[in-house]
């Protein structure tokens, strides 16, 4: 921001006793007029930048004690063209650089409206919902209302995040406000939308996918589903090298499956030495002090080492219901040693990792079904594997074991297609989590896809037979080192 000139603030309002002083400042070149009784001392930046930095003070000057309403209250910001919609004692239309003020004559602050900035008020949730269901007659520029579908989406979000009680409170408060707003027609629409979402009224008034799914009894997480679609679009633009897998049976297959299970558990905190885990899987040795942990490793191996299970990919399931059933069956196998987590049962409580809160329990089946539909449209095994792993990880459908299950289903897609697995070794854990976080928190799929490509490239570089050779290659690659120790995965330059 440029410094003010001659002690003037960046935005100056005209009128009153300062008028003559302002006129002299304009004549000297210290101020520039940019609107009715509106001046700036910033003569370097475009005037709209100055107005945008002081937007609400400017609005309060032209529309004191008015209410921020309609689209502006709904979105919580001006429209893209700078339009701000207000309601006040008189109608007003004003254009200055960086701001289009559109004030409709109507009621001032009502019950529930909240104090805003610079003496302004912003519409309450029930009020802004009613206003945005009204008929808009704006000519040119942004529309005053967001429309019925956007209101419907907001109502579905309220129900999903705050529950039925919150939605009923909104409806009750809207009934109180409607007479003052002259919003009888909008109230009828709002009541119909809320009733449909609560499944007490006909659902044919709903148009959005999330709202219609909820009314149909299979709600989903729209933000996650949008992220799945983002990943699907990105996957269709990448073509990693095709890495055929010659390992289909025998000792090499057993060794590969063992280390798949071993690393998948280790990065989740189920830590055994390699020799100890090998004895659990191949000799049936169950450590007396850690039977549940041993069953985790064994349960994972029973999935990733079972050619029959691996050959039945989720993408080949004929219906979403088949896919959901197979997920639960696999989870039963995986977590059968931990009855306290409900093996084969959808989660019953929220779960999260760090700052990431996963899909709410009531939305799990619907979200998985929508993700499965996105997966079915992908062409290559690598694309489907990446989508499968992220779908399960991002949804986190069970109380425990989600990461292991996600990696098992990912590799099932690859094994069935005759392609190399993707193994995430201990030292690669932070790269793995970083790729997931970039996609989950920043909607950036590139680190995630690069991470998977490099992990598959590493897996293809290891000699999986005999066992001693596999262990030697993993050790040489630093694969067994804890990631937090600062080591890096060493992939041979010759690996493709």
The CA R_g of the chain, rounded to the nearest whole Å, is: 30
Whether residue 263 contacts residue 255, with contact meaning beta carbons closer than 8 Å, is answered with no
| Euclidean distance between CA atoms 491 and 454, whole angstroms | 8
Report pLDDT for 485: 60
Q: What angle do CA 318, 323, 324 make, to 5 degrees?
A: 140
* Dist CA 220 CA 215 (whole Å): 11
Domains and CATH numbers, the chain: 11-123 (no CATH), 148-215 (no CATH), 222-485 (1.10.3290.10)
Sign of the C-alpha dihedral computed for residues 390, 392, 395 and 399 taken in this order? negative
Q: Does residue 124 contact residue 183 with C-beta atoms inside 8 Å?
A: no
* Cα gap 479→426, rounded to integer Å: 6
User: Encoding tokens for residue 147?
Assistant: 């429309």
For 420, the 3-state DSSP assignment is coil
Could you read off the pLDDT of 103-119 as tens digits, one per residue? 999 999 999 999 999 99
Q: Scan for tokens 């558990």, then name that residue.
A: 265
Per-residue pLDDT of the chain (496 residues; tens, 9 = 90+): 444 566 899 999 997 777 889 999 999 999 999 999 999 999 999 999 999 999 999 999 999 999 999 999 999 999 999 999 999 999 999 999 999 999 999 999 999 999 999 999 999 999 999 999 988 766 678 899 999 999 999 999 999 999 999 999 999 999 999 999 999 999 999 999 999 999 999 999 999 999 999 999 999 999 999 999 999 999 999 888 999 999 999 999 999 999 999 999 999 999 999 999 999 999 999 998 899 999 999 999 999 999 999 988 767 778 999 999 999 999 999 999 999 999 999 999 889 888 888 999 999 999 999 999 999 999 999 999 999 999 999 999 999 999 999 999 999 999 999 999 999 999 999 999 999 999 999 999 999 999 999 999 999 999 999 999 999 999 999 999 986 665 799 998 777 6
What is the C-alpha to C-alpha distance for residues 288 and 275, in angstroms, rounded to an integer? 16
Q: What is the pTM of this model?
A: 0.84
Neighbours of 27 (CB within 10 A): 9
pLDDT of 2 reads 47
Give the pLDDT score at 484: 62
CA atoms within 13 A on the CB side of 168: 6
Encode pLDDT of 55-90 as tens digits.
999 999 999 999 999 999 999 999 999 999 999 999
């Amino acid at each position: 921001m440029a410094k003010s000139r001659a002690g003037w603030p960046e935005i100056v309002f005209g009128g009153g006793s300062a008028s003559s002083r302002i006129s002299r400042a304009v004549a000297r070149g210290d101020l520039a007029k940019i609107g009715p009784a509106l001046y700036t001392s910033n003569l370097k930046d475009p005037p709209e930048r100055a107005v945008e930095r002081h937007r609400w003070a400017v609005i309060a000057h032209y529309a004191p004690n008015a209410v921020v309403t309609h689209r502006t209250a709904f979105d919580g910001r001006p429209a893209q063209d700078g339009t701000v919609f207000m309601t006040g004692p008189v109608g007003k239309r004003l254009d200055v650089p960086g701001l289009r003020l559109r004030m409709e004559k109507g009621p001032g602050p009502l019950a529930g409206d909240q104090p805003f900035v610079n003496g302004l008020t912003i519409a309450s949730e029930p009020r802004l919902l009613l206003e945005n269901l009204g008929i808009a007659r704006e000519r040119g520029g942004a529309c005053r209302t967001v429309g019925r579908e956007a209101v419907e989406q907001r109502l579905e979000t309220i129900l999903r995040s705050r529950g039925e009680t919150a939605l009923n409170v909104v409806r009750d408060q809207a009934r109180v406000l409607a007479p003052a707003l002259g919003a009888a027609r909008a109230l009828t629409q709002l009541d119909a939308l809320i009733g449909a979402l609560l499944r007490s009224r006909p659902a044919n008034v709903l148009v959005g996918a999330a709202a219609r799914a909820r009314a149909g009894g299979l709600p989903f997480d729209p933000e996650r589903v949008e992220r799945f679609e983002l990943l699907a679009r990105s996957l269709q633009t990448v073509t990693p090298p095709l890495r055929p897998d010659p390992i289909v049976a025998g000792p090499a297959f057993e060794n590969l499956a063992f280390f798949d299970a071993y690393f998948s558990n280790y990065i989740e905190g189920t830590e055994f030495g390699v020799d100890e885990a090998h004895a659990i899987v191949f000799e049936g040795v169950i450590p007396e002090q850690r039977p549940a942990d041993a069953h985790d490793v064994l349960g994972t191996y029973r999935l990733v080492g079972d050619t029959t299970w691996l050959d039945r990919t989720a993408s080949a399931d004929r219906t979403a219901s088949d896919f959901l059933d197979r997920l639960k069956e696999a989870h039963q196998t995986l977590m059968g040693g931990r009855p306290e987590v409900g093996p084969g049962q959808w989660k019953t409580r929220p779960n999260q990792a760090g700052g990431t809160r996963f899909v709410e329990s009531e939305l799990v089946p619907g979200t998985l079904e929508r993700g499965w539909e996105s997966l079915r449209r992908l062409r290559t095994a690598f694309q489907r594997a990446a989508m499968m792993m992220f779908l399960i990880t991002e949804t986190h459908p069970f109380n425990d074991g989600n990461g292991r299950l996600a990696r098992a289903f990912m590799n099932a897609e690859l094994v069935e297609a005759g392609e190399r697995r993707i193994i995430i070794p201990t030292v690669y854990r932070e790269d793995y989590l970083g790729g997931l976080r970039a996609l989950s928190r920043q909607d950036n799929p590139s680190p995630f896809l690069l991470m998977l490509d490099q992990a598959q490239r590493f897996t293809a570089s290891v000699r999986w037979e005999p066992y001693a050779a596999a262990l030697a290659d993993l050790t040489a690659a630093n694969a067994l080192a804890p990631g937090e120790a600062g080591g890096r995965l060493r992939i041979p330059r010759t690996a493709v």
